[in-house]
Amino acid sequence: MIEYLKEYFDFKGLLICLALVGIGLLSVYSATYDVGAAASFEKQAVWTGVGVLALLAAAYVPIRALQRIAIPLYVVTIGILLVVLVVGKTISGSKSWFGVAGLGGQPSEFAKVATALALAAFLARTTTSLSNTRHLLTAIGIVLGPMILVIAEPDFGTAVVFFAMMLPVLYWAGASNFVLAAILSPIIAATGALLGTLTFLFTLLVGGALLYFTRENRFAAAVAFALMLAIGLTVQSAYERLQPYQQKRISTFLNPDLDPKGAGYNVLQSKVAIGSGGFFGKGYLQGTQTQLNFVPEQWTDFIFCVPGEEFGFLGASVIVILFTALLLHGIRIASLSLNKFGSAAAIGIVGIFGVHVLINVGMSMGITPVIGIPLPFLSYGGSALVANLASVGLLMNFYANRKEH
């Protein structure tokens, strides 16, 4: 029995996950206990129990059954995202929630995982080849479907996660460097267009260089560059036609320092909290920024500033190290897996976790735009926590079945 557990049970992944969940519960408790929001901690504790059950269920579903239901599950998810657009509850300007009798959740949190599984199932088919244009477009379409529905809510932060998850999965499945450059170039150009003409020209140069040095043929490179140029010019033209207050929203989104008392307030206060923690921190429940609630609802997207202030650089480093260990462990599982579905799905989950961590920690430190992305296992939120724990269960499943073709 002991030998079986050593061989097939993923103790390392589980322990890293539980450590992050424990830190999350401590952080949510600290962030809520003195600001009249203790019910949030109690709900998070309940959802942790539900999430652990989801983890165990995901860990023991037969991998072949999981592969068979991946596409049907994806279709159901698309249907739910359509329903939430019609009858969903609007919170913070986004119609992305189901809410009944005080309970609710975001289907998009589960849609990310379902999309990663569906994409992996398609790529794992023996007939699928990313060198085939139709197959490549189908793979991209699998991601674009839910991504467009999420944008319609609108929830641009979650949409970014879908896109960022797709790139490493396609690369892992054998997509060429040119394909990845062709997908990235329009995004680079659109971002540059929002930052000004000089930045736009620079991004055109960078994107053009990427396409040139990774080109498979000149015609394909020319088409990709033309698309990049067209999208960049369209975005720039659309931005210039916006009203001044709408332009301000976008510029503040990209640079919160432009509106320190409005949209940029949370970021600036989060930076103060993390900076005031020093190396060792102020001690648990002793953070002044945290306990005086300078960051509104800090137990959600800005939860990282809580351990950053109370446990300082040392505590924040431990969190980053744990996340890094989890991501590297996920990549290792993907590398060891002989099953193409399990391997690609593991990379998809790593991609989801990775972009969440990079953007959320960057938001808290003021180095990435504020796009409403929670920190996995730490931020308050039942649907996100359950989806994340289920994802770890899937990684454990892929580890246990890593020798199965």
Q: What is the pLDDT of residue 135?
A: 94
pLDDT band at 273 (very low <50, low <70, confident <90, very high): confident
Distance (Å, rounded) from C-alpha 111 to C-alpha 93?
A: 20
Q: What is the pLDDT of residue 186?
A: 86
Percent of the chain exceeding pLDDT 90 equals 44
Q: Are 106 and 99 in contact (CB under 8 A)?
A: no
Distance (Å, rounded) from C-alpha 2 to C-alpha 23?
A: 29
pLDDT band at 63 (very low <50, low <70, confident <90, very high): very high
pLDDT greater at residue 327 or residue 108: 327
Q: Provide mean pLDDT across the span 113-136.
A: 93
Q: What is the pLDDT of residue 301?
A: 83
pLDDT at 337 over 90: yes
Q: Provide mean pLDDT across the span 80-95.
A: 76
Of the listed ranges 9-23, 48-62, 299-313, 347-361, the one predicted with least confidence: 299-313
Q: What is the pLDDT of residue 193?
A: 83
pTM over the 0.95 mark: no
Q: What is the pLDDT of residue 101?
A: 44
Model confidence pLDDT, tens digit, residues 173-228:
989 899 999 988 888 888 888 777 888 889 899 888 989 888 878 888 898 899 99
pLDDT band at 254 (very low <50, low <70, confident <90, very high): low
pLDDT at 133 over 50: yes
Q: What is the pLDDT of residue 263?
A: 57
Q: What is the pLDDT of residue 102?
A: 47
Q: Provide mean pLDDT across the span 96-105.
A: 58
Q: Provide mean pLDDT across the span 82-111.
A: 72
pLDDT band at 373 (very low <50, low <70, confident <90, very high): confident
pLDDT at 237 over 50: yes
Model confidence pLDDT, tens digit, residues 350-365:
999 999 999 999 988 8
pLDDT at 98 over 70: no
Q: What is the pLDDT of residue 93?
A: 61
The rounded mean pLDDT for the chain is 86
Q: What is the pLDDT of residue 248?
A: 65
Q: Provide mean pLDDT across the span 228-232.
A: 89
pLDDT at 292 over 90: no
Q: Provide mean pLDDT across the span 143-171.
A: 89
